[in-house]
Amino acid sequence: MLQAVSRFLIARSSTRLVVTMAAITLILVGVFGVYLVPGFAAVSGGRLPLDLQFPLTPSVIFAELAVYDEAARRLYLQFLIVDMLYPPALAVFLLTWWVRILDTAGASAWLERPGSFLWMWPLAAALLDWSENIGLALMIWDIPGGASRADLLALLVTGLRAAKLLALQVSFLTTLVLACWWLWQRYNQPR
């Protein structure tokens, strides 16, 4: 399956797509930073949305949920919608950028090697982020089945958060290594 992802990305990756996905990702970050986070803080007495709480523990989740009123839930829904768009935008941006870096360095054949699992990190981060969002939504809106298992769900959400952060760290570190490698390749070529 990962080889199919590799072939798909190689076939469609272009500088234009990298720039477009970078712009979309930055716009979403801007919506968070300029509108949603300050708006949420305004209606919740200065609090951050649960997704931005650090550290996030079950006790933090329950303490924050206790003060979420209707206005906070309404704004959190807007936050949630954008937060469901952000993970795949970031993943596609990182993956297409990686393909362009490797392709311009003449190493695109490496992408199709069996056992190449480079792609799993941004994809895993996106899937884990979506799962975390769904778990938080179940708790925030007290969706049937969510409240009856709230302790387990809070524990699951905190585990998903930790796994997501690990996948993001590996993704960002990979991006840094690839960018440095590309610069080294570019400026150490005999002229």
Residue 112 falls within a domain, yes or no? yes
| Radius of gyration of the CA atoms of the chain, in A | 19
Q: How does pLDDT run across 22-52, given as a tens digit for each residue?
A: 999 999 999 999 999 999 999 998 999 998 9
Expressed in percent and rounded to 5, the helix, strand and coil fractions of the chain are 80, 0, 20
Domain that holds residue 164: 2-179
- Please tell me the total count of domains within the chain: 1
Rounded distance between C-alpha atoms, residue 109 and residue 138, angstroms: 43
pTM equals 0.85
Q: Are 92 and 168 contacting, i.e. CB atoms less than 8 angstroms apart?
A: no
